[in-house]
């Protein structure tokens, strides 16, 4: 090793523990101090849900939807990319040949099932979809009386799209990169935050800043 490289090396010696450090008492007292500070803090953090609705980040990932195209057809082309990318294996698709009056695609989903209970809401499905057919919405209060109620089929997912298509909190995010082959749009307007961003909110420091203020069940105004 050259002398220049040796000069640039800073050797760090492991510090020797004193008597009190070996007893771990300073570390224990420091931990108890932190605990007492949280116990005696008077700042209220509990929200009175459902009377008070939570403030969600603009990029919150909730219940899925299947988008429709400009001709009101299901936008999915049954390429199986979302099912392949899903780490929870919660998506099941059965493809079918597209009818002759659909010259822009080869297949469409005869059935599309998504298990909302098994899903981990990672967003991998919407990132993998080449035609922006599947997206996650702002809907967070997902309930059902049985497991079958939370097994969303194609029509149920399309129903979520019909519910959220005109909601400013869930714009059809087709604007990233080149538009997919199932889109007839030539250009899209730029999308801005749906709501204002308080400086105290964690999402203000995120790349996609913004908050979502929900005011009713499943985000209904």
Eight-state DSSP code of residue 168: T
Exposure b/e, 128-165, CB count within 10 A at least 16 = b: bbebbbbbbbbbbeeeeeeeeebbbebebbbebbebbe
3-class DSSP assignment, residue 41: coil
Percent of the chain with pLDDT over 90: 44
Look up residue 30 and give its two tokens: 């420091």
Residue 185 has pLDDT above 60, yes or no: no
pLDDT averaged over the chain? 80
Per-residue pLDDT, 176: 43
Residue 98 has pLDDT above 70, yes or no: yes
Would the pTM count as exceeding 0.75? no
Q: What end-to-end distance do the CA atoms of the chain give, in Å?
A: 70
Higher pLDDT, 175 or 104: 104
Closest to 111 (Cα-Cα) out of 163, 64, 151: 151
Look up residue 133 and give its two tokens: 């057919």
Residues facing residue 115 across a β-bridge: 151
Q: What is the architecture, at CATH level 2, of domain 55-176+194-219?
A: 2-Layer Sandwich (3.30)
Look up residue 174 and give its two tokens: 């087709």
């Amino acid at each position: 090793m050259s002398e220049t490289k040796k000069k640039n090396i800073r050797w760090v010696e492991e510090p020797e523990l004193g008597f009190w450090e070996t007893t771990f008492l300073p570390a224990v007292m420091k931990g108890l101090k932190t605990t007492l500070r949280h116990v005696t803090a008077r700042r209220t953090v509990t929200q009175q849900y459902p009377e008070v609705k939570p403030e969600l980040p603009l990029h919150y990932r909730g219940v899925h939807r299947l988008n429709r195209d400009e001709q009101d057809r299901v936008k999915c082309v049954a390429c199986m990319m979302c099912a392949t990318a899903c780490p929870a294996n919660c998506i099941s698709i059965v493809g079918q040949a597209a009818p002759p009056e659909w010259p822009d695609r080869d297949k469409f989903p005869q059935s599309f099932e998504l298990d909302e209970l098994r899903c981990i809401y990672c967003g991998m499905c919407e990132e993998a979809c080449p035609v922006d057919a599947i997206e996650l919405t702002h809907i967070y209060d997902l309930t059902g009386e049985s497991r079958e109620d939370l097994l969303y089929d194609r029509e149920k997912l399309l129903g979520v799209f019909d519910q959220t298509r005109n909601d400013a909190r869930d714009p059809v995010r087709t604007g990233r990169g080149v538009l997919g082959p199932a889109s007839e749009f030539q250009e899209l307007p730029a999308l801005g935050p749906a709501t204002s961003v308080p400086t105290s909110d964690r999402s203000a420091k995120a790349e996609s800043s913004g908050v979502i203020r929900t005011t009713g069940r499943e985000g209904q105004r």
